[in-house]
Chain A
Amino acid sequence: MIAELGHIFLISSLVLSLSGGISAFFLKKELPIQKFALLMTLLVTGAFFALIYSFVIDDFSVAYVAQNSNINLPIYYKFAATWGAHEGSLILWILSMNLWLLAFLSFNKSGSINFSNIVFGVCSLVIFSFLLFTIFTSNPFERILPVPPLNGADLNPSLQDFAFTVHPPLLYFGYSGLLLPFAISIAAMLSSVPNRDWASASRPWTLLAGSFLTVGIGLGSWWAYYELGWGGWWFWDPVENAAFIPWLLTVALVHSLIVTENRNLFINWSLLLSIFAFAASLLGTFLVRSGILTSVHAFALDPERGLFLLGIFSFFVLGGLIIFAFKNSTKNQSSDYSINSKEFGLLLNNLLLVVLAVSILFGTLYPLIYEAYTGGKQISVGAPYFEFIIFPFSLMLGLLQGIALYLSWGSTKSFNFLGKLIIESLSIFLLTLILLFVLFEDLIPASFITIFIFAWLISGSIFFNFSFRSLEKYLDFINRRIGVLLSHVGMAILVLGVGVVSSYSNEKELILDPGDKIKFHNKDIEFLGIRDVKGPNYISKAAEIRVIDDNRSFELQTEKRTYFPSGQVTTEAGIETGIFGDFYVSMGDNFNGDSWSFKLQSKPFIRWIWFGALLITLGTFVSSINMVRRLS
């Protein structure tokens, strides 16, 4: 009964979003759009809760629940299973689009009535198309009648984990947040608002979407690291790329909007980027859910869904670009800035980010293009291509970011700061080198570049306004620019983590019998034995490992779990976490008796990657909240 109620809620919001969207487009007068958005949000929330309810009471007559839950599944994961697969995640997606729209309408006070109406109209139509998609191809409320199963098939075991339960919602929140800049750019083209106004209306939401994307991607990377048992943190999997491309474009847009708001420049560029970022988020959805790319993230395949999503993508993106072609800002912009100005710096930043995004998109799609034009021959584009591409871009972006905060609008009077910057960078560079030298004893040439870029970024973001004489002024400055500083410092820390972990990681694969002792780096490792563990919905072989490291000793446990409803096997890695590095052990295959293969890995500085991502998340979050406050 409750599931039917959820179904009715979905259908009502479908009707509302279509009628609301169309009337907002054509009626040029003040409409109660905020109340309308609230009503839609409440209906979708109702549907979402109806689905959660079906999970919690184990209503296996609902097909989606039967496929993704089980009586023995812990209650916490029954909640999380709601968005664990395609259908339920769409409901969450639609809910978050509604929440973004509602937040925009509640806080935004700038722009004309016409402007707000069009933003509302575009968002409602996108929401309508996703509702249509859900109801017709991916309805989570479908029943298995007349004979419902007694028990469900269970939630995919590798998803039964804390990080998983929060990673997808945050990522969906980020993806769907890109709807607002898109809708705002369409509204800016169709109504006549000053560029400064729409840019300042768009900035906080773009930043906030970027913040959610960053934390979502970061959590996903962290989850993959400890849950998949490979010890990697980024795999250049197509689905990761599908999230990385919108992230890059969002970062580009955040910077381009600064110029549009402050200098009335890059107007068409900002409009286009808003469309591109939204397109990238839709494209990612399409690639993942149509099944044309296979990956660890694959959802159930259904060609009809792919076609439907491609339809949504074409309609909104091509529609947006047609509007752009005829309604863009044709006024000649005064391009009155020199090569050493902030404008030029941001222009370079945008170029690099967009070219990088396009290269990654190309690498992701190339296997498909190749297959289509060679009649089925397959090729895979993996880490070597992407690493080859990303290295020079990160280097250039890094060099640019170091000086970017020093540049001023129009033209920077002098490059006096360069000397100061170099001295600061060198001192940080040396300090980091010494630190690394103490930790690793040998230094690899490749890591010098990383450390230098780290030093360059840190001194470029923190110290450029620093002096002991006016410490108070400096602290005040930090206080005002805390968001900017956090995110730029976060980037520096992330770069250091990536660089060190790629140059100093070590791994060893071997077979051990209980009682075996081996040496790995400076650690003595002993395999103590195997224990049988019984969890609520799995049985597990747990290997006890004792590690003796210089002066301390600790025990780690790695597991091979077999989840009984599905028979699927997962690996739980044993990880000793440290600021300067992790020790990572995962269980491989079983040989005779209690003899197992193990993979030992040392992962220096890996935590810095996620710490950096966290700082970027915080920084962008703080900045966007401050901007929203200023707007309203």
Chain B
Amino acid sequence: MRRFLNLTPFIAFGILVVLLYSFLNQENEELESVLVDQSVPEFQLPELEDPENLISKSNINNLPALINVWATWCIACRVEHPFLMQLKNESILTVYGLNYKDDRQKALNLLERDGNPFEFSIFDEYGKLAIDLGVYGAPETFFVDKTGIIRERHVGVLNDKVWKDKFEKFLKEDNEDK
């Protein structure tokens, strides 16, 4: 009995080691942070509008497109909202939303009130895809070209000037290729 008691710390730590080992393998299968000129990382996350509907990389198929990281807690996102609406209304290109660390109901209310510029929004409650994309805040915008490669990234408010300076050239490039 006493011998067994003496072994308990060893057994407890043995279990811990096995557990840590399993975490290690699990994590190896995942991708590391993706930067410009790499493809959009794999993910599987629910849709904002419909939690039952799981979205993956293959759903981002209307390319070229923007992926816009937004949240209701982010004041600057509201500032860029009209510009995103303009992109949608003038059918310039598709915008996919990445709703980042947000409350689902609040996010839906905001889209209801101010209009929904997004084809759909990915609901990334814990910032899982955001980590893979290397996001460090909202708003943030990624340009994905028609082959699915991220070409440009902008941190901060997206407006007409930023669009002209940073993103428009990629859209033209894609159109010329056609």
Residues of B32-57 at the interface with A, using a CB-CB cut-off of 8 Å, are 32, 44
| B155: A residues at CB distance < 8 A | 569
Question: Is there contact, CB below 8 Å, between B22 and A372?
Answer: yes
Residues of A368-427 at the interface with B, using a CB-CB cut-off of 8 Å, are 368-369, 371-372, 376, 378-380
Question: Is there contact, CB below 8 Å, between B17 and A376?
Answer: no
Q: B6 contacts which of A317, A318, A326, A371 (Cβ < 8 Å)?
A: A326
Question: Is there contact, CB below 8 Å, between B75 and A511?
Answer: yes
Expressed in whole angstroms, the minimum distance between the Cβ of B23 and any Cβ of chain A is 5
* Docked complex Cα distance between A378 and B130 (Å): 13
Question: Is there contact, CB below 8 Å, between B24 and A306?
Answer: yes
Question: Is there contact, CB below 8 Å, between B75 and A509?
Answer: yes
Chain A, Cβ-Cβ closest to B21: A310
Residues 66-84 of chain B: 1 if any A CB is under 8 Å from the residue's CB, otherwise 0? 0000000001100100000
SS class, residues of chain B in contact with chain A: helix
* Docked complex Cα distance between A511 and B131 (Å): 28
Check if B89 is an interface residue, CB within 8 A of chain A. Answer: no
Check if A262 is an interface residue, CB within 8 A of chain B. Answer: no
Question: Is there contact, CB below 8 Å, between B19 and A310?
Answer: no
| B156: A residues at CB distance < 8 A | 589-590
Expressed in whole angstroms, the minimum distance between the Cβ of A591 and any Cβ of chain B is 5
Expressed in whole angstroms, the minimum distance between the Cβ of A452 and any Cβ of chain B is 36
Known A-B contacts A325-B3, A371-B26; the reply to A591 vs B13 at CB < 8 A is no
Expressed in whole angstroms, the minimum distance between the Cβ of A567 and any Cβ of chain B is 9
Question: Is there contact, CB below 8 Å, between B7 and A380?
Answer: no
Q: Which has the most chain B C-beta neighbours within 10 Å: A365, A368, A589?
A: A589
| A511: B residues at CB distance < 8 A | 75
Question: Is there contact, CB below 8 Å, between A372 and B24?
Answer: no
Q: B23 contacts which of A301, A372, A588 (Cβ < 8 Å)?
A: A372
Chain B, Cβ-Cβ closest to A371: B26
Known A-B contacts A310-B24, A589-B157; the reply to A318 vs B14 at CB < 8 A is yes
Residues 128-157 of chain B: 1 if any A CB is under 8 Å from the residue's CB, otherwise 0? 100100000000000000000000000111
| B6: A residues at CB distance < 8 A | 324-326, 328
Interface stretch (choices A83-91, A285-293, A470-478): A285-293
Chain A, Cβ-Cβ closest to B75: A597
Chain A, Cβ-Cβ closest to B153: A567
Question: Is there contact, CB below 8 Å, between A380 and B126?
Answer: yes
Interface size on A, residues (CB 8 A): 42
Chain B, Cβ-Cβ closest to A268: B6
* Docked complex Cα distance between A618 and B2 (Å): 42
Question: Is there contact, CB below 8 Å, between B2 and A290?
Answer: no
Expressed in whole angstroms, the minimum distance between the Cβ of B48 and any Cβ of chain A is 16
* Docked complex Cα distance between A303 and B31 (Å): 12
Residues of B52-110 at the interface with A, using a CB-CB cut-off of 8 Å, are 75-76, 79
| A306: B residues at CB distance < 8 A | 24, 27
* Docked complex Cα distance between A275 and B10 (Å): 11
* Docked complex Cα distance between A376 and B20 (Å): 16
Expressed in whole angstroms, the minimum distance between the Cβ of B100 and any Cβ of chain A is 13
Q: B157 contacts which of A283, A326, A569, A590 (Cβ < 8 Å)?
A: A590
Chain A, Cβ-Cβ closest to B137: A589
Question: Is there contact, CB below 8 Å, between A294 and B131?
Answer: yes
Q: A372 contacts which of B10, B26, B75, B126 (Cβ < 8 Å)?
A: B26
* Docked complex Cα distance between A292 and B22 (Å): 10
Question: Is there contact, CB below 8 Å, between A303 and B27?
Answer: yes
Check if A65 is an interface residue, CB within 8 A of chain B. Answer: no
Question: Is there contact, CB below 8 Å, between A310 and B126?
Answer: no
Chain A, Cβ-Cβ closest to B14: A318
Question: Is there contact, CB below 8 Å, between B19 and A318?
Answer: no
| A369: B residues at CB distance < 8 A | 19
* Docked complex Cα distance between A589 and B32 (Å): 27
Check if B175 is an interface residue, CB within 8 A of chain A. Answer: no
| B21: A residues at CB distance < 8 A | 310
Q: A378 contacts which of B13, B23, B79, B128 (Cβ < 8 Å)?
A: B128
Expressed in whole angstroms, the minimum distance between the Cβ of B116 and any Cβ of chain A is 22
Residues 308-335 of chain A: 1 if any B CB is under 8 Å from the residue's CB, otherwise 0? 0010011001100110111010100000
Question: Is there contact, CB below 8 Å, between B13 and A279?
Answer: yes
Known A-B contacts A294-B131, A379-B126; the reply to A325 vs B23 at CB < 8 A is no
Q: Which has the most chain B C-beta neighbours within 10 Å: A286, A301, A321?
A: A321
Check if A428 is an interface residue, CB within 8 A of chain B. Answer: no
| B75: A residues at CB distance < 8 A | 509, 511, 588-589, 597
| B24: A residues at CB distance < 8 A | 290, 292, 303, 306-307, 310
Chain B, Cβ-Cβ closest to A306: B24
Expressed in whole angstroms, the minimum distance between the Cβ of B133 and any Cβ of chain A is 13
* Docked complex Cα distance between A569 and B153 (Å): 14
Check if A42 is an interface residue, CB within 8 A of chain B. Answer: no
| B44: A residues at CB distance < 8 A | 376
Check if A347 is an interface residue, CB within 8 A of chain B. Answer: no
Check if A272 is an interface residue, CB within 8 A of chain B. Answer: yes
Expressed in whole angstroms, the minimum distance between the Cβ of A245 and any Cβ of chain B is 13
Expressed in whole angstroms, the minimum distance between the Cβ of B80 and any Cβ of chain A is 10
Question: Is there contact, CB below 8 Å, between B76 and A317?
Answer: no
Question: Is there contact, CB below 8 Å, between B7 and A365?
Answer: no
* Docked complex Cα distance between A591 and B22 (Å): 46
Expressed in whole angstroms, the minimum distance between the Cβ of B83 and any Cβ of chain A is 12
* Docked complex Cα distance between A318 and B12 (Å): 10
Q: B17 contacts which of A290, A314, A588 (Cβ < 8 Å)?
A: A314
Q: B10 contacts which of A313, A322, A371, A380 (Cβ < 8 Å)?
A: A322
* Docked complex Cα distance between A322 and B157 (Å): 58
Residues of A near any B CB (own CB < 8 A): 272, 275, 279, 283, 286, 290-292, 294, 301, 303, 306-307, 310, 313-314, 317-318, 321-322, 324-326, 328, 330, 365, 368-369, 371-372, 376, 378-380, 509, 511, 569, 588-591, 597
**What are the 4 A-B residue pairs with the smallest beta carbon separation, nearest first?**
A321-B10, A589-B76, A325-B6, A303-B28
Residues of B near any A CB (own CB < 8 A): 2-3, 6-7, 9-10, 13-14, 17, 19-24, 26-28, 32, 44, 75-76, 79, 126, 128, 131, 155-157
Besides A303-B24, A365-B19, A369-B19, 9 other CB < 8 A contacts? A279-B13, A290-B24, A318-B10, A324-B6, A325-B9, A368-B23, A588-B75, A589-B75, A590-B157
> What would be 13 A-B contacts, judged by CB atoms less than 8 Å apart?
A272-B9, A279-B13, A283-B20, A301-B32, A306-B24, A310-B17, A310-B20, A313-B17, A313-B20, A371-B26, A589-B79, A589-B156, A591-B76
